[in-house]
A and B are shown apart, each in its own frame.
Chain A
Amino acid sequence: MTESARDGEYDDWLDAIADGGGYYLECGNGHGWLPPRRVCPKCGDRDLAEEPLPDGGEIASHTTITVPTPQFEDDAPYVTAVVDFGPVSATGMVRGVDPEDVAIGSVVGVEVGERETTGDRAVVFRPR
């Protein structure tokens, strides 16, 4: 078996979150993005600096997915959400709360979990 190649800075970013040191990239004009990025898509600035990801973010929107892709078959139903951390937003699975109780504006923290179906790493949000 050949192991899959790492996905560069994306896997570095997951490693950092798992180690409690999550970060985002900020350009000189204050635009925030998640890695990998070489350039700010908004203003073209190439001087991107790592900044600490805020501890908590607010759920901007969420959905409970009941018809998944095969890679999430055993995870369903599960909640996927976009979470607003202020300078940057992230997408992940919400765990640790009943799907019925997930709400826009709820504060969550980010960690790295595993998909039940494949064991692959996944961005996970939990209520703070």
Chain B
Amino acid sequence: MSDPRIAGAGVTKFGEHPERTGRDLFAEAGLEALDASGVDRGDVDALYYGNFMGELAEHQGHQGPLMAETIGLEAPATRFEAACASAGAAVREAVTTLRNGEAEVIVVGGAERMTNIGTAAATDALAIAADDLFEVRAGMTFPGAYALMARSYFDQYGGTHEDLAHVAVKNHEHALVNDHAQIQKEIAVEDALEAPTIASPLGLYDSCPITDGAAAAVLTTAEYAAEHDLDAPVAITGTGQGGDNLALQDRPHLAQTPAADKAAEEAYGDAGVGPDDVDVAEVHDCFTIAEVLATESLGFFERGEGITAAREGITDRRGELPVNLSGGLKAKGHPVGATGVAQLATLAWLLDGSHPRADDVSDATVGVAHNAGGTVASTTVHVLEVAE
């Protein structure tokens, strides 16, 4: 079985949509993806759907079948929950299912409604992706957890808050032309350094916003795409997933993300490529330090060297390896359960030339998506390649 193709994708504007329900957001993204794909809805074999805090934010569990009917599907539907990597896990399952011949067309997607419950409740809801007994009860928040990782990184490898500020500045600049992005506003290093502290050493601009939004993609087999004359030039050629202890305290180090190392190794091996082959990446920068850790786990930089990549322009859109041309979670926004598929959509559009930042990587043929759950206790990595 050949590698699955991305036949179409849809993403809502990310941002604050307090008046819109999760089902309304997903309907927009899902219908856009179906329309873009050219696939008959009756041919869809399944919906794999990511969502994290539906019970807390909307008092709505069992969202799989709800979202299937929302986009007019009668297919079986399953919700995947892996914290912020929920949609990445859904993608991985879809790739596996398509490859083993159990399905020909699968809609993958995700949605999250977060702003309606306010910052405090959203912080609380996000925190439960950590270990309740040992982290949440110790006052851990997600910015707090990544702050622990950032301080540990500085202690072990060096680096400063100013280095992290360059990550934020870069991703804000990348988002300027992305109309799906929540924040289309340029910032300076000084803005990031002077912003209020959330969890020292991380400030407001080191953190992604709280976001409502949805994303969806129609995945199919190369054979189905050819048979139905679909325009689906981008294939998912590698998939990987790694896991780690849930609590930071149980890991041998706080400044590395071995779950992402494992996912990357598996995905690269699956695709038959290596980090040097990658032209463009969308990584899980829920906090600025997270982008640094991700790029090191993906093998783009040695340990301790990713911290200066943004400052040196390497990961800038004009650099050797553009990272987060969408604006990343930092500026594009992070509707938790949708993020993994939004990354997939961004890469597909960058590789097929239809993304507003596609000119920055006009010769790109290989892209990588890195989607992390919690403090990277779950990670998926997917390799996308231009197949036609």
Contact = CB atoms under 8 A, between A and B. Distances in A.
Interface of A: 7, 10, 33-34, 41, 60-73, 75, 78, 80-82, 89-93, 99, 104, 115, 120, 122-123
Interface string B96-137: 000000000000000000000001110110010000011111
A72 B147 CA distance: 17
Contact of A63 (B119, B144, B155): B144
B152 to A, nearest CB: 4
Contact of B155 (A10, A72, A104): A104
Contacts of A73: 120
A72 B141 CA distance: 10
7 closest residue pairs by CB, A with B:
A63-B147, A69-B124, A89-B249, A61-B152, A61-B148, A91-B138, A64-B200
Interface of B: 119-121, 123-124, 127, 133-141, 143-144, 147-149, 151-152, 155, 196-202, 245, 247-250, 254
Given A63-B144, A80-B140, A91-B134, A70 B149 contact: no
A61 B249 contact: no
A29 to B, nearest CB: 15
Given A67-B199, A122-B138, A61 B149 contact: yes
A67 B119 contact: yes
Nearest to A36: B133
Contact of B139 (A61, A68, A82): A68
Given A66-B196, A66-B198, A80-B148, A122 B137 contact: yes
15 contacts: A34-B249, A41-B245, A41-B250, A61-B152, A63-B148, A63-B151, A65-B143, A69-B139, A82-B148, A89-B249, A89-B250, A91-B135, A91-B140, A104-B151, A122-B139
Contacts of B133: 7, 10
A65 B134 CA distance: 16
Nearest to B247: A91
Given A68-B139, A90-B249, A91-B135, A63 B199 contact: yes
B144 A92 contact: no
B143 A67 contact: yes
B139 A78 contact: yes
Nearest to A78: B139
Interface centre among A71, A82, A93, A123 (most CB of B within 10 A): A82
B141 to A, nearest CB: 6
A123 B249 CA distance: 13
A34 B250 CA distance: 9
Contacts of A89: 249-250
Contacts of A7: 133
A10 B131 CA distance: 12
A63 B199 CA distance: 6
Contact of B134 (A67, A90, A93): A90
Contacts of B119: 67
Nearest to A82: B249
Contacts of A66: 196-200
B144 A60 contact: no
Contact of A67 (B121, B141, B148): B141
Contacts of A123: 137-138
Contacts of A120: 137
Given A65-B198, A91-B249, A120-B137, 18 more contacts: A34-B134, A41-B250, A64-B199, A66-B196, A66-B197, A66-B199, A67-B141, A67-B143, A71-B124, A80-B139, A80-B148, A81-B148, A89-B250, A90-B134, A91-B138, A104-B151, A122-B137, A122-B138
A42 to B, nearest CB: 9
A47 B198 CA distance: 42
Given A10-B133, A67-B141, A93-B139, A62 B148 contact: yes
Contacts of B141: 65, 67-69
User: Which of B124, B139, B202 counts the most chain A CB atoms within 10 A?
Assistant: B139
Nearest to A67: B198
Nearest to A63: B147
